[in-house]
Amino acid sequence: MDVDVAALGESMVTFLPSRPGRLADVPSFDRAIGGAESNVACALAAFGHTARWVSRVGADGFGDHLLERIAGYGVDVTAVHRDPGRPTGVYFRTAGDRGTGAHEVAYYRAGSAASAMSVTNVDLAAARSARVLHLTGITAALSEECRELLHELTAPAPGRPLVSFDVNYRPGLWGNGADAQLLLDLARRADIVFVGADEARDAWGLHGGRSLVQALPQPDLVVVKQGRAGAIAFHKNTDGTEDADGTATHVPAPRVDVVAHVGAGDAFAAGFLSATLRGLTVRDRLRHGHLFAAAALTTPGDLAAPPARGHADRLAALDDDAWGRLRLGPGWTRAEQAEEEANIP
């Protein structure tokens, strides 16, 4: 295993509006990057882990931009193949949060280089040569070839890395939702599953953590994200025995002065996986997930620098009362302002 984490999936060049308004009215856009899997790899690399992004991009300027930006975070991009016959995907979005009815996203990813990922044109060895392989349901929505690739990478095999799967259910990609069972099947083949309570309801009609974990008995850990209410991890009993539900650990989310919701789910996964790699307790894995998510929530754009490791560890070690009083605002991750920006009344 030559890196801590390998993340496989599509990244796109993102165009962010210069001001609020409909896409039809916005006169100009700023360029950024976005991709669930590469977001996780970038956050982990910025936190000091070794990370690799595995994908395909076009042999075009947008592909150059993605590779340069992601490598700039310290991520290994040598397993990203260039496709001379297909473009790099791009998308435009409005300035409003995704949860509002006024939010618009226009994807131009059909026929992209990443949508053609398959078991024959992706570096499988690079994906498997990691302690953790991170995948998401977004890749499964791109093409039949991508679905076959995920089935190959999640198949039980000797020496398989720990497989992390973020359901990341995007109805706009799936259309009529007829492939919800496919996402459930992929989740059952993973070791760690991340899913929002709203995603479980919308994709599978499951309400409540217990019903979800009963539908997913195979993974060692099922992490259910509950928004401002926090997150709960259902995991196998530490003594090696099993019962119908295993053990549940709930950690409330700290109060956050939100700047933008984009990228918080990816950041949460990165924080949880970082703490997993470091052998921390399930409680502290959830706390690190919340802290990484808070870094994203207090920063505009899809990517945010995580807190310094020492600062994150100090906050994660707070007693329950102090954690419950924690409030994080813009700029809290800057080490030189850590004590002032992390307001613990």
- Provide the annotated active-site residues: 266
What is the bridge-based pairing of β-strands 162-166 and 3-8?
unpaired
51 phi, psi to nearest 5 deg: -140, 150
130-136 sheet: strands from edge to edge:
80-83, 51-58, 3-8, 130-136, 162-166, 192-196, 221-225, 231-235, 247-251
Reference 236, options 167, 268, 282, 200; nearest CA is 282
Rounded Cα distance between 12 and 3, Å, is: 23
Q: Which residues pair with 51 in a beta bridge?
A: 5
Torsion of CA 24, 26, 31, 32, to 10 degrees: -80
